[in-house]
Amino acid sequence: MEKMPQLGVGTFRLEGKVARQSVMDSLDIGYRHIDTAQIYGNEEEVGDAIQTNGIDREELFVTTKVWYEKLGRDHFIPSVHTSLSKLKTDYVDLLLIHWPYPNNDIAMDEYLNCLAEAKEQGLCRHIGVSNFTLSQMQQAVSILGKNTIYTNQIECHPYMQNRQVVAACEEHNMNVTAYMPLAVGKVMKDDTLLAIAEKYAASPAQVTLAWLESKGIYAIPSSTSRKHLQSNFDAQKVQLDERDISRINELDNGERIVDPDFAPDWD
């Protein structure tokens, strides 16, 4: 698929049969955008689900991410071949650098040039980054050139709206993909979101996903429950008015959920 669907399904923390079933259910429901990563340890199960479902590969948008330990020139391309083998596909639609290399111990131009090489070799159709800061995005654009980086995948939800990074992505003509869009379920208990959800006969999760869509932000919520996968998919029918979008904008408090010890210095 040439263009990434706005709503995808994430597979972070899903393992084994659970990961396989989640992707199977997602494809049955109608999702066509599936996100995985080398470090999730589930590329094989994602590949099984895609193959078993039998949907034409051209109808799918599959993303995987190169783990930082594989960013060196010797490991990069071989690791992508391993991912493709596990996913049982000749290419991914989007290949991301999962995290910038900690402390720049491997130079960014080394691994970004490997990323560009993967695209030249036909191993992926689009290339992008994840968890890149403002200065790292600027550096990446100076290395790869304008309009080359398809997306920056970042933590983004009502409590961590990452506005500076989102604005910079727009300036660089990069899509923004939100991971953890439901703040690991915290949105379900939020009084403001509950009130807005009642107005639209929707769930707080649906309202959150509709809010991201209203901003042109892509989202990859994950779930092991078919019911929740369906509910998230149905969020595409919810159209929020400007006032409710503003109310959700006000929930931003900079609460970051994902902050491993190898993370960059956040903006």
The residues spanned by each domain of the chain are 9-185+217-238
Which of the following is catalytic: 31, 40, 101, 218?
Answer: 40
Token pair belonging to 51: 């193959």
pTM metric for this prediction? 0.98
Decide which of 82 and 2 is more confident: 82
Q: Tell me what pLDDT residue 64 has.
A: 98
CA dihedral sign, ordered 99, 103, 107, 108:
positive
- The residues that bridge with 160 in the sheet, in sequence order, are 157
* 204-214 and 242-249 helices, crossing angle to 10°: 100
Average pLDDT rounded to a whole number, residues 119-124: 98
**Known catalytic membership, residue 40:** yes
Average pLDDT, the chain: 97
For 2-23, what is the mean pLDDT?
97
For the chain, strand residue ranges (E) read: 9-10, 33-35, 61-66, 92-97, 124-130, 149-155, 175-179, 218-219
Percent of the chain with pLDDT over 70: 100
The CATH number of 9-185+217-238 is 3.20.20.100
Q: Which pLDDT does position 2 carry in this prediction?
A: 87
Task: Report the distance separating Cα 84 and Cα 67, nearest Å.
Answer: 14
Burial of 260 (0-12, 13-18, 19+ CB in 10 A): exposed
Task: Write down the pLDDT at residue 197.
Answer: 98
pLDDT for the residue numbered 122: 98
What is the Cα–Cα distance from 262 to 99, expressed in whole angstroms?
Answer: 8
pLDDT of residue 9: 98
Q: What is the mean pLDDT of the segment spanning 243-265?
A: 97
Q: What whole-number distance in Å separates Cα of residue 27 and Cα of residue 36?
A: 14
Whether the predicted pLDDT of 170 surpasses 90? yes
Distance CA 121, CA 127 (A): 12
Tokens read off for 206: 């649906």
